Amino acid sequence: MSDTDKLILGLWDGHESGAALVSGSQVVFAINEERLTRRKLEIGFPARSIQACLQFAGCKPDDISDVAISTWDPAKTLTRCVPSLAEQYYQIRRKKVDMTASQRRRKLLKYKITELPPNEIARSFSNRAVSRHLRELAFSRPAPHWYDHHYCHATAAAFCSGFDKALVITIDGIGDGLSGSISAFEDGKLRRISAISGKTSLGIFFEHVTNLLNMRELEDEGKVMALANFAFPVADSANPLLDYFEVDGLTLRAKYGSVRMYRELQRVLWRYPSEQFAAMAQRVLEIKVVQLMQNAMQQTGLHRIAYSGGVASNIKVNMLVHDLPGVERLFVFPHMGDGGLALGAAMAANHELHGVARYSLPNLFLGPSFEDGDILAAAQKAGLVCRKSDDVVKETAQLIHGGEIVLWFQGRMELGPRSLGARSILARPDSEEMKNELNLKLKKRVYYQPFCPAMLHLDAAEILENYKGVPNPFMTVGYRVRPEYRAAVRGVINIDGSCRPQILHEENSRIARLLREYRKLAGRGILLNTSFNTHGEPIVCAPADAVRTFVETDVNYLIMEDFIVTKTKRA
């Protein structure tokens, strides 16, 4: 087997665990464990994801040339060696159980432990735990390659950006003792020029805010961002949270450590409505991240930015960075949180071993697909009516234009937190009533959390103020809708007139074809596109998942490949 054919398996076994397979300059397959276990943001060793990688590639464990994994700080090592601790935290974090006083103290202690940097003792214990799991799956190769947490975030962003040279920035909660990094990417190599200590974490700050608003940390930060839109404006000079961080060149200084910061935020919270508290916290991210980006561009002379880490999921911040004078292009790695570390680790190993530093990433359809027989079996088992369409795209466009909500299941499943046209719920974008109906029937979102659109680039150029003509197929940046078009897309915009669109160019994916077909009927190729799942569930993966969601909800049409599935009787 030549170097270009060798299969490298990347793993991540923290929250939103998963596995990825790369070969040469191609991402062969990638998936997160939650899609297979059906537990959202699943934790622990990704055995099912590994099996899915092997099954897709048609290979055995011995066909994998190398295994790579990220993060060996003491906190991650502890949960590898004592998995019950990770499970306890999972149950508490997702608010499945009430937290006792002792658990609350241990949780605060956890923040102190996560600040400890990686060391050789931790690496040895981590290596032993992971190697044991690999042996149980019949892997007999040498021990896995280990890569720094933020290097994996940076590698994925840089190598998938399409840039020859770029400023690479990672910002998250914490991993391997750091909460961020700034690197230069040139000549196929990453050179770190600054690191942000884990004791100074914008990500943990926003986790604390999320928790104090009685939401789920590492999951509901997007809700905090959305809630902020409903706040009465607070001047920056009157925002006490802005003093919590200071940008110092290419790093950050914090007024408080993570535990003290939580207590200080508690004191501030009671003085403000929840909306204002959220808005003040959101403003901290906006100002501090933008300052870091500006300083980094000025110091390096690099004006194309590749960006990753959990904080990169904040599309309002990303919109400000996108609009900054001097930013030529912004690429946000679409699986920016820790769920993308498996792919980053695989790419890091492929670069070290074979020098590969560029990947083609035209879409994120990197998961499993299913045969017609799987679809028919799942539908028939549930007693559903299944009809094969001669032109399923045209029929679906007509259904949506006629006011139907459609569950859309096509091809290989997407990787990452967004539905991008393979596992989507689709509806008209111009109806407030449709948005409310969708919320009632399926999503059960809070009132302030908007839905997002998928649109053709021709329509994006017409209706978006700050669209620069650059593809944005992954829903990673916010845009402002021109006032005269807001009524036409009122089902998919924020109260401030912004939206987080998936913008498709000339690709021939089914979702792009559907948008073109819908454009013939409605005049614009824009649809409401939200993730195919019910509240609290992972995005559906297999036909059985799609059918179960369909049966449990008051929706009339499920489209799976060329099949139009309906219910024998209305619920």
**How many CA atoms lie less than 13 Å away from 313 in the CB half-sphere?**
27
Pick one of 3.30.420.40, 3.40.50.620, 1.20.140.10, 3.40.50.2300 as the CATH number of 3-107+115-148+345-349. 3.30.420.40
- Distance of alpha carbon 224 from alpha carbon 248, whole angstroms: 26
Q: What number of other Cβ atoms are within 10 A of residue 138's Cβ?
A: 10
Q: Where are the alpha helices (DSSP H) in 148-273?
A: 149-160, 202-212, 221-228, 258-269
Check the CA dihedral 214-215-217-222 and report its sign. negative
Query: Domain spans of the chain?
Result: 3-107+115-148+345-349, 162-332, 372-566
Smallest Cα–Cα separation from 171: which of 146, 207, 145, 147?
207
Q: What is the DSSP letter of 539?
A: P
Domain over 372-566 is classified CATH 3.40.50.300: no
Angle of helix 202-212 versus helix 274-300 axis, rounded to 10: 170
- Distance of alpha carbon 402 from alpha carbon 388, whole angstroms: 20
For β-strands 166-175 and 406-409, DSSP reports them as unpaired
**CATH no., domain 162-332:** 3.30.420.40
- Distance of alpha carbon 454 from alpha carbon 533, whole angstroms: 17
Q: Are 420 and 412 in contact (CB under 8 A)?
A: no
Predicted pLDDT of residue 107: 75
To 10 degrees, the CA torsion angle through 348, 222, 543, 16? 40
If DSSP codes are grouped into helix, strand and coil, which group holds residue 405?
Answer: coil
Predicted pLDDT of residue 92: 87
pTM recorded for the entire structure: 0.96
What tokens appear for 4 in the block?
């270009």
Residues 6+ apart with CB under 8 A from 477: 315, 318, 319, 322, 330, 332, 500
Same fold, 3-107+115-148+345-349 and 162-332: yes
Tokens 């194309």: give the residue: 304
Residues 6+ apart with CB under 8 A from 302: 165, 166, 167, 184, 296
What tokens appear for 89 in the block?
């935290």
- Distance of alpha carbon 494 from alpha carbon 451, whole angstroms: 8
- pLDDT per residue of the chain (571 residues) written in tens, 0 to 9: 556 679 999 999 999 999 999 999 999 999 999 999 999 999 999 999 999 999 999 999 999 999 999 999 999 999 999 999 899 889 988 888 877 777 777 777 788 889 999 999 999 999 999 999 999 999 987 789 999 999 999 999 999 999 999 999 999 999 999 999 999 999 999 999 999 999 999 999 999 999 999 999 999 999 999 999 999 988 999 999 999 999 999 999 999 999 999 999 999 999 999 999 999 999 999 999 999 999 999 999 999 999 999 999 999 999 999 999 999 999 999 999 999 999 999 999 999 999 999 999 999 999 999 999 999 999 999 999 999 999 999 999 999 999 999 999 999 999 999 999 999 999 999 988 888 888 877 888 888 889 999 999 999 999 999 999 988 999 999 999 999 999 999 999 999 999 999 999 878 899 999 999 999 999 999 999 999 999 889 999 999 999 999 999 999 999 999 999 999 754 4
| Average pLDDT, rounded, for the chain | 95
Residues 6+ apart with CB under 8 A from 155: 147, 190, 344, 347, 348, 351
